[in-house]
Structure formats: structure tokens, C-alpha cells
Structure 1
Amino acid sequence: MKKGKKHEPHEEHIDESWLLPYSDLMTLLLALFITLFSMSSLDAAKFEQMASALSSALNGGSGVLDHSSMNPTDSSTDLGKNKDIPKEITKKTPAQITDAQMAQKEQEDLEKLKKRLDKYIAHNGLSDQLNTKLNQSELKITISDKALFSSGRADVKPESRSLAKAISSMLQEFPEYEVVVSGHTDNVPISNNQYKDNWDLSADRALNFLKILLLNPQLDPSKFTPSGYGEYHPIASNDTNIGRAQNRRVEVSIIRKYQSNNTNVKSVSGGN
């Protein structure tokens, strides 16, 4: 009996079906890291959303792309580098930050000038004739009319010219500010041949005082403005002699340039 040919047993083939999803996974990961590498900066919120989505899709959200494990020294992925900066600062443009710094310098300048004026007033015994006030819009020097003028006159008294010169020497250290010199009267009608009404008197008083200030060649005349208000901006009642005396005055106002940035500045008076 012829024996049949004996066949060798077939070798078992290894199941290679896992290679397909594995290669897809590697392709996805390669694409992801190429994208991350090419980005110069990365938004933290978007990264977290992308990481969460990919983690859920690839392995059920186990956190393969957890960004907390990334190198914190990598400048392209340092997602928390601004976490300690207040939001109000990060929202400001460089110009706004510069304005804030200039407003602070302006405040320091005006406080410095006010202290010098108050010292001059105290040293010369002028506290009943001059006072200073710093508020949100200006530093104002108020000068009683009796410190400068004879009744019904607009010429600055010779002995009072030194006061104008002293103020001008202080102003020259702060040449960038606009200065308004304004004249004010009480409501008693003027009765002389030189002035027909209080408008004219107040305007001439302001202009004459301003001209003495500008005898200082260090001051820029384009920064100075004279103005006459007559009786129409009183600071006290015109019903009494004391009130009328307070209303007859010259004001020298050093105008702030950063008024909107000084809403928290308290009004400070001195030299009373």
C-alpha cells in the first residue's frame, strides 16, 4: 500500500491588522507636533480645547496632550507667563502706559511748584493776600486785588512787581505748561473816565500782570493767555464788603495736560 505524502503543518501567520490604526495614530501625532513646532506663540485656551478634543478622540480623554507636562522654559509654549500681570495693565497700549507715567510726573511737578509758592507766601507774610489750590484741572494762584492794584486802576503797583517776578521765576522751571492769567471784579459798577465797565478793568488787570511775568525771557509767551471775566465769576457773595473783596482778584492758572488721568486727585489748598 502506497503511503501518502506527508504534508508539513502550515505555519501560523501573525495578525498584523493593528499596524493600520497604529500608522494612522503616528501620522496624526506627527502632524500635531509639526503644527506645534511651527507656531511662534500659542493661545492657552485654544490649546486646552485642542488637547481635550484630541485626547478624547484618541484614547478616551486620558490626557495624552496634558500641557502641564510641557517644558515651562520653552518660550513658544510658556502659557502662564502673564498670569501675574493685572488685566487692566495687559489691556493698556504702550501709549496709554506712557500717558499714565506722564500724568504722575505732572502731579509731582505741580505739587513741587505749589510747595514753593506756599513757602514764598508764608515767608513774605502774604497769606491774607495770596493762596494756592491744586485740583483735577489746574494749579491756581489767587491774588487779591489790593496786593497788586489801587482801587479802580489796572497798573500794577511798583512795590508789587516783585511778586510777579517771583512767580515768573518759579514758572520758568516748568515751561511746558499752559498758563492763563484772569482778572475778576466785584459787581459794583466802575465809575471813572478810564474804564466804561468791569469787563475792561478786569481784562487790563490780567494783561498788565501777564506782561510783568513775561519780562522773564525764560518764559514762552505762546504758553500764556490773558482773560477778563469782569464780575461774572464770583467766588463769594457780593452782598458784603468781605465777599466783594474776595471777588476782586487776579488768578494765575497752570493748566494740567492730563486732566482725564487725575480723577482721583484731591483738591489741595494752601497759603490761606
Structure 2
Amino acid sequence: MSGPKRGRRHGGGHDEEHENHERWLLTYSDMITLLMVLFIVMFAMSTVDAKKFDQLKESLAGAFGGSQTLVTGGSSGSPDTSGVSPDQIDLQSAAGGQGADVTTLSKQEQDKAVQQNDRAKAAADLQKARDEVAKLKAIEQKMTELLAKQGLADSVQFSIDQRGLVVTIITSSVVFGGDSAELLSQGKEVLDAVAPALVAIPNHLEVGGHTNQLPVPTKNYPSAWELSTARASSVVRYLLGKGMTADRMTAAGYADTKPLYPPSDPLSITRNRRVEVVVLSDQSAEVKALLPTAAAEK
């Protein structure tokens, strides 16, 4: 009797193992825990000390001379930093102490640094102007020697202004006759003397015609404007025949609008009637503005 009972008990009559239907909760809780840790790490990495960040922002804005308003990705709940003075901010602390080589800069120190930069640039520009004047003086010296060989040194005057080297050719009975834009023989001799020096340089030339203030009626030209422009054009055409290229020259007439001498000066009648050949400087506007100052030092 006992044998069959044991057979039924071991032969398949034992109870089945109970299945755990809540095992997925363990996996789910592990995943949630890992996600929570991940977000905590990400939040810790992205969190910025708002007060220190605002200090850094204000200091950098002051150092670059710009506005202290900066678009950032911070939240609207940033701490109030209105009590922080931008005149004295420790950038080392604002940078979070992460080894940044930043020193404390006051407003006065920032202004001093800007002034030093401005002075350095001004000094560099003045030196460039001095170098440019030296080049222009070399051109002047070459033309002076050529004119002296022809006995025409008194027919030309030289000066330096913000445009460059101004070669002034007096036109009264030298270059043009009255009410005429036709070059006289002596005018051609003057241009023949200075042309080699002009052809040898790369600078552009501006040729300007000028008349005096006398209201003398013209027969060949409607007004002094046309006469002064025609004289400048005659000089340009002549220089083209001496080797100058058209793309290096411009012609303009100014009538009596740019006198060298006031009408009350007796020299105004002869000296204001002139043609100017300007050797234009190729320097920047800041350097060209310093050319008269540099020329006055010579």
C-alpha cells in the first residue's frame, strides 16, 4: 500500500513551482533608479552659479567697453546681482576657480589699458606718416634736381598735405596763356622735367586746375570752371605721352574755390592761377591725416 502511494507522489503528483508575476517591478525600479542618477549627474554638470556668472558677464562687458546686457540661457530665477559693483570684480572667483588666469580689473585699470592701446596705435600711425613723408620727400628731391638742370626750379612749388605730395605749377605766363588751355613751350618743359619722377613711382596722380578770383570774362570757355578743367585735362594728356597710364590719373577743375592766397593778397592774382599735380598717398585715412604733422617735423 505504501509503495503505490510513494509512486504517485514522486511520479508526477508533486505541486508545481509558483510563478512570480511581479518580477518585472525589480527591473523597472532599477531602470528608474539609473535614470534618476543620470539626470542628477546631468543637472549637476549644467548648473552654474548665477551670481558668479553675472559677475563674470559684467566684468567682461566692462573690459570690452560694451553693454553689460548679455543673452544667456539662464533661468529667470537668477539671484539679484544689482548690489555687485562692476568697478571691482574678482574674475578668478567668478570663473569658478578652475585655474583661469584672470586678475582683478578695476574700471580705472580698464580705462588705462584702453588709453595705452590708443596711444600705441597713435604712435604707430605717426611713425607710418613719418615714413610716408620720407618717401614723398625723396620724390620731391628727384623732381627738384631735374627742374634745376633745366633752370625751372622757380616754376614749381612743393608741399605736403593730407592727400600726399602737392606739386604746384604756376600757370601765369609759364604753362598756359590767358583764356587758354593749350600748353606753352615752357609749360611743356616743366612737365618734361617732372615726368620721369612721376612715371617711376606707383602712386596715383590727381591733376587739378585752378583760376584766380578776377571776374575776367572768357571767350573760349563759358566760365572759369570749364577753363580750369580743360587745363587739368591738357596736363593729363601730355603726361600720357610721357609714359603715364590713364588708370593712374584723374583730372578736375576747381575754378577759384580753393585759393592759396586770399583775394586781398597781391600774390593771389598770379599764385592762385595754377595747376596742381598731387602724388596721392596710399596710406590709411588715419595715417594720411598725420602727414602734415610729420612733414612739419622735418
TM-score range, shorter chain: 0.5 to 0.7
Question: What's the counterpart of residue 277 of structure 2?
Answer: 252
Q: Which has the higher contact order (CA 8 A, sep 6+)?
A: 1
TM-score, normalised to structure 2, is: 0.52
Residue 261 of structure 2 is aligned to residue 236 of structure 1: yes
Q: Deviations over 1:58-78 (max 9, x none)?
A: xxxxxxxxxxxxxxxxxxxxx
Scaled by the length of structure 1, what TM-score is found?
0.57
Larger radius of gyration: 2
* Aligned-partner Cα distance in 2 for 1:143–1:164: 9
Match of 1:111 in 2: 137
Contact in 2 for aligned 1:189/1:197 (Cα 8 Å): no
Q: Does 1:171 align with 2:198?
A: yes
Q: What is the identity, as a one-letter code, of the residue corresponding to 2:193?
A: A
Write the distance in 2 (CA, Å) between the matches of 1:105 and 1:235: 27
TM-aligned CA distance change 1:193 to 1:186, over 3 Å: same
Structure 1 alignment gaps of length 5 or more: 1-47, 55-86
| Cα separation, partners in 2 of 1:191 and 1:220, compared to 1, 3 Å | same
Query: Using the alignment, how far apart are the partners of 1:167 and 1:199 within structure 2?
Result: 26
Could you say if the C-alpha distance between residues 128 and 208 of structure 1 is closer, same or farther in structure 2, counting changes exceeding 3 Å? same
1:154-212 C-alpha deviation (Å, 9 max, x unpaired):
1000232122122221111112x121100000122342421121111101111001111
Is 1:216 the counterpart of 2:216? The answer is: no
More helix by share: 2
Give the aligned length: 184
Change (3 A) 1:199 1:115: same
* 1:1-272 equivalent positions in 2, closer than 5 A: 106-146=132-172, 147-175=174-202, 177-217=203-243, 219-258=244-283, 259-262=285-288, 264-265=290-291, 266=293, 268=295
Q: Which moved more, 1:157-166 or 1:196-205?
A: 157-166
**Letter of the 1:255 counterpart:** L
- Please say which of residues 126-135 and 241-250 is displaced more in the overlay: 126-135
Q: 1:158 to 1:200 in 2, by over 3 A?
A: same
Q: Is residue 109–residue 174 contact of structure 1 (8 Å, CA) maintained in 2? A: no
Q: Take 1:207 and 1:264, find their aligned partners in 2: how far apart are those partners?
A: 30
Distance 1:185 1:200 in 2: 10
| Aligned AA (1:225) | T
Contact preservation (8 Å) 2:160, 2:166: yes
Q: 1:267 to 1:228 in 2, by over 3 A?
A: farther
RMSD of aligned C-alpha atoms?
A: 3.5
Percent of pairs with identical residues? 23
Question: What amino acid does structure 1 have at the position aligned with 2:256?
Answer: E
SS in 2 for 1:148: coil
* 5+ residue gaps, structure 2: 1-91, 99-115
- The equivalent of 2:26 in structure 1 is none
The one-letter amino acid paired with 1:248 is R
